[in-house]
Amino acid sequence: MPANHRYSAQTALLLLACTVLASCGSMSSSSANPVNWVTPYKIDVIQGNFVSKEQVEQLRPGMTRDQVKATLGTPLMASLFHADRWDYVFTLKRQGVEPQSYKYTVFFKNDQLERFEGDTMPSEAEFIAKLGNRRKLGEVPVLEATEAQLKAAEKPKSTAAAAPANVPSGAPAGSYPPLESPKQ
């Protein structure tokens, strides 16, 4: 092969490789890019305290700090600079789902609950419904055998059961030899 053909073939391959790489960069937002076909597993990230609508309905002005803590749980943020304010923050990040974030704040005056405010909190049932599994598993198979299947699985009973060679004569066919040898 002449030298000029070898160099032109190398140049053509180099140009082809550059073109392919450049096109991959322009297809980064497209689903046609093979890199987008495989995605790594991302774990669910749950942070903070979930405060339900039912818990918020139990709050009453005049409750002590201990009563509020028993109702809502330990606050995520209790600042030294804002000693009369507790913040309850809850975030949930899941793969393929929009992140969820809820914030609720309680204010104290003279160690008693003065007021409370925050996002409209979902009930426990509504929150659990949002957590629904995204995987669809299909129909559950019937777990009951039909009469025809039971008859097909039935073993024919033999009338003469042969005793195994290691069972002493006179012993029932379904029994096992003793674990310990008889004392002499």
pLDDT digits (tens, 9 = 90+) for 29-84: 555 666 666 777 778 888 888 899 999 999 999 999 999 999 999 888 777 888 89
Sign of the Cα torsion 36, 38, 43, 44 reads: positive
The total of structural domains in the chain comes to: 1
Q: Indicate the pTM of the whole model.
A: 0.50
8 within a domain of the structure (yes/no): no
123 within a domain of the structure (yes/no): yes
Summarised one tens digit per residue, pLDDT across range 108-152 is: 999 899 999 999 888 888 888 777 655 555 676 777 888 888 888
Segments forming the whole domain that contains residue 55: 45-130
CATH at residue 93: 3.30.1450.10
Which among 53, 57, 76, 73 is positioned nearest to 65, based on CA atoms?
A: 73
9 within a domain of the structure (yes/no): no
* CA 184 from centre of chain: 63
56 within a domain of the structure (yes/no): yes
Read off the pLDDT band of 106 (50, 70, 90): very high
23 within a domain of the structure (yes/no): no
157 within a domain of the structure (yes/no): no
User: What local confidence, expressed as pLDDT, does residue 116 receive?
Assistant: 92
